[in-house]
Structure 1
Amino acid sequence: MSTSDTSSTSPRPSRKPRVAVVFGGRSSEHGISVLTAGAVLRAIDREKYDVLPIGITPDGGWALTSDAPERMAITDRRLPSVPELAESRTGSVVMPVDPASREVVYSEPGRVPEALGDVDVVFPVLHGPYGEDGTLQGLLELSGVPYVGSGVLASAVGMDKEYMKRVFLSYGLPVGPFTVIRPREWEQDQAAARKKIVDFAAEHGWPVFVKPARAGSSMGITKVDDLTGIDEAIEEARAHDPKILVESLLRGREIECGVLEFGDGPQASVPAEIPPVTSHDFYDFEAKYIDSATGIVPAPLTDEQTAEVRALAVRAFDAVSCEGLVRADFFLLEDGRFVINEINTMPGFTPISMYPRMWQESGVGYAELVDRLIQAALHRSTGLR
């Protein structure tokens, strides 16, 4: 056998798995994603993994960024952004598009493209459209690169609040009243769209909440007390998504529960409660991220209520065919019933976010949580599942 034949059959030298942390993105939740990435980068065990931070700019460019978690923080009430972290304003990162190769390439005008090495798993800490909605997951499926979190279908359903609720209803999960204003309805007949909301409020009562159907972090949501606020609320929501969801006010307590996939299936964390926010009309973006309103972990519930909401969270996880992780949000109504509001397939993931706090209280610390998700993704094959 020739020397070259011998070398080709020799085992490749072992190396640490390489994790690409992909963050930022084109959605209005860009800054929240950067916050999450900073926390994840800080928590990843560098003795166990190599890390490649990749930021997606607000206009969709893929940038090689500095590995500087300390810069991914709120400063003077301002969220961080990928362009502030990019190592070059003109260079771009190209992910593999051939399942036979997992090599990431960096290119810059006037320079020979630089191979950055193989990526073994992607941790996509993107929130909102163009990242959390199945689009990035589809790219990674085509590339054959494993990734953290739910697949294409579950990510898409989890992003679209209308179809999420319809899936919940088909599985017998309790959902509050809602209606939808589709883009064509508003564009072709605004009077009919307003009447649809007024008729909904006449049946279920004012106020109503008008929100983008496919957005998160409480962005674009308006509490509407009467007919005079409808147009402004719709335009605010449409700034984030042309499809609008209208929900009735549910009077009760806000309860959240984390779900994490273990080897023997999904398990639920202890639940948390979001207490009423006195400085805001409701638990909106400013309350969550700028003023750092915090929840109560664990939620002050009876043993029976805790068991019920944990079971409902796992049922919601299974109903949407989720993988990896989910945060399920509920209302505990005044009559004692739980109603599911929504799930998040990539919830806020900073150490002070509710999802890691609930798991911390359940015995899984932040660094261990990150490691579990990476390990699960490494052992999960891509493709239809």
Structure 2
Amino acid sequence: MPSPTPQPTATRVGLVFGGCSGEHAVSILSARTVADALSTGANGQRYRAVLHYITRDGRWLTGEGATAALSGADPIPAGSEDPGARLPTTARHVDVWFPVLHGPNGEDGTVQGLFTLLDQPFVGTGVLGAAVGMDKQAMKTAFAAAGLPQVKHVCASADGLARPDELVGTVEQDLGYPCFVKPANLGSSVGISKAGDRRALLAGLRAAARLDDRLIVEAAVTARELECAVLGDGTLNASVVGEILYDAEWYDYTTKYSPGHSSLVIPASVPQAVHERVQRLAVQATQAIGAYGLSRVDFFYQEENRMLYVNEVNTMPGFTGQSMYPLLWQASGIPTEELVHRLIELARARHQRRNFTPAH
């Protein structure tokens, strides 16, 4: 009697979510989508999710604590493992990491550095791409060096508010009103305000400075908001282009994550030449910051003169049910289950190349 064919062992995916940032709640929603994708179809045989929840104060929970957090329940039930752990204690139980973390302490190179030191594969870009992609000042500098079109902006610092008249004068001279004030290292529109006069500008700068030492002020432009997803390593591929429509003055946090306040149009209704240029610029912007794996690149499109401006690159975009990144790839022919599989395969292939030692 022939021996039974051995079944392949499922790859253990360390799904990391939560985190010490203002996008903690969004990260949990994204993780639910990824967890579902890991258990759907062929992925249910390929992968086994090992949940790792990072509390708002930086503690790592696994087991029951992480499962509870993913479902929205109390993340620290009785009998949970050490609630004081500040680092993953289960690395030996993980084959590849999938950090579904947004914003500081997750999308900024810190967690990427941890996994690099652990010498374990992880989904997404490395330390450089994540760090540059997180910091809007560094990102815009990289865009400028690559010759990418972007709106006029002024870089500032919290220390500059010690001389508010000088800083405000520079903004008024270089940009004028209206303008947007942003912390350099936050995402999901957290801490962003629109200023139409000097009083609002000062209030916005002070509010942003409470969140970050590095600030940026951008000229407001009347434009449509387009987005394009990027996937790959070495060779980067761009998705179809999508557009965001919203009922607010601008695309703030509430509008982004509250049902009924915004809608997505995929593919965007733009001329084919504009569609193709967005795809080219999305790849170039991702390359400009040294990123790979996945990214979502945001654009401003002025229809009257067909001008395109690169707004920013997100190196770990949202994976929620209404997030543009997975929806763009679905419209491009890659369902979310396959997308998650490809991201994991990219991570493992890069890790193998990084550790390859040629024979002498």
Displacement, 1:42?
1.0
Which residue is equivalent to 1:286?
254
SS of corresponding position for 1:28: coil
The match for 1:134 among 106, 109, 112 is: 109
Structure 1 counterpart of 2:236, which letter?
Answer: P
The match for 2:307 among 311, 315, 337 is: 337
2:232–2:292 Cα contact (<8 Å) kept? yes
Which residue is equivalent to 1:161?
136
Which residue is equivalent to 2:59?
61
CA offset digits 1:10-41 (Å, max 9, x no partner): xx995221100001110111111111111111
Please tell me the root mean square deviation across aligned C-alpha atoms, in Å: 2.6
TM-score, normalization by structure 1: 0.83
Q: After superposition, where does 1:130-209 map in structure 2 within 5 Å?
A: 130-186=105-161, 189-192=162-165, 195-209=166-180
Which residue is equivalent to 1:254?
225
| Change in CA separation of 1:364 and 1:70 when aligned onto 2, cut-off 3 Å | farther
Distance 1:332 1:36 in 2: 28
Which residue is equivalent to 2:278?
309
Which residue is equivalent to 1:3?
none
1:63–1:87 Cα contact (<8 Å) kept? no
Distance 1:284 1:65 in 2: 35
The worse-fitting range, judged by mean Cα deviation, of 156-165 and 369-378 is 369-378
Q: After superposition, where does 1:267-278 map in structure 2 within 5 Å?
A: 267-275=237-245, 277-278=246-247
Displacement, 1:272?
0.6
Structure 1 stretches of 5 or more lacking a match? 1-11, 74-79, 97-103, 106-115
Displacement, 1:72?
4.3
SS of corresponding position for 1:26: coil
| Change in CA separation of 1:30 and 1:86 when aligned onto 2, cut-off 3 Å | farther
SS of corresponding position for 1:380: helix
Q: After the TM superposition, which parts of structure 1 deviate over 6 Å for at least 4 consecutive aligned residues?
A: 67-71, 84-87
1:22–1:126 Cα contact (<8 Å) kept? yes
Distance 2:24 2:263 in 1: 21
2:96–2:121 Cα contact (<8 Å) kept? yes
| Change in CA separation of 1:286 and 1:117 when aligned onto 2, cut-off 3 Å | same
| Change in CA separation of 1:295 and 1:248 when aligned onto 2, cut-off 3 Å | same
SS of corresponding position for 2:255: helix
| Overall identity of the aligned pairs, in % | 39
| Change in CA separation of 1:290 and 1:81 when aligned onto 2, cut-off 3 Å | farther
Structure 1 counterpart of 2:31, which letter?
Answer: A
Which residue is equivalent to 2:316?
346
SS of corresponding position for 1:298: coil
| Change in CA separation of 1:302 and 1:146 when aligned onto 2, cut-off 3 Å | same
The match for 2:49 among 48, 51, 57 is: 51
1:20 matched to 2:14? The reply is yes
Which residue is equivalent to 2:340?
370
Structure 1 counterpart of 2:35, which letter?
Answer: L
1:299 matched to 2:268? The reply is yes
Structure 1 counterpart of 2:20, which letter?
Answer: R
Displacement, 1:361?
0.5
Distance 1:65 1:201 in 2: 53
CA offset digits 1:269-328 (Å, max 9, x no partner): 0001112x22x2211000010235222111001111111110110111111121110000
Distance 1:150 1:121 in 2: 14
The worse-fitting range, judged by mean Cα deviation, of 44-53 and 234-243 is 234-243
Which residue is equivalent to 1:6?
none
Structure 2 stretches of 5 or more lacking a match? 1-5
Displacement, 1:65?
4.7
Structure 2 counterpart of 1:58, which letter?
Answer: R
The worse-fitting range, judged by mean Cα deviation, of 227-236 and 24-33 is 227-236
Which residue is equivalent to 1:211?
182
Aligned residue-pair number: 344
| Change in CA separation of 1:162 and 1:381 when aligned onto 2, cut-off 3 Å | same
Which residue is equivalent to 1:109?
none
TM-score, normalization by structure 2: 0.88
Distance 1:227 1:326 in 2: 35
Distance 1:38 1:311 in 2: 31
1:83–1:89 Cα contact (<8 Å) kept? no
Distance 1:190 1:89 in 2: 50
Distance 1:84 1:281 in 2: 40
Distance 1:173 1:117 in 2: 43
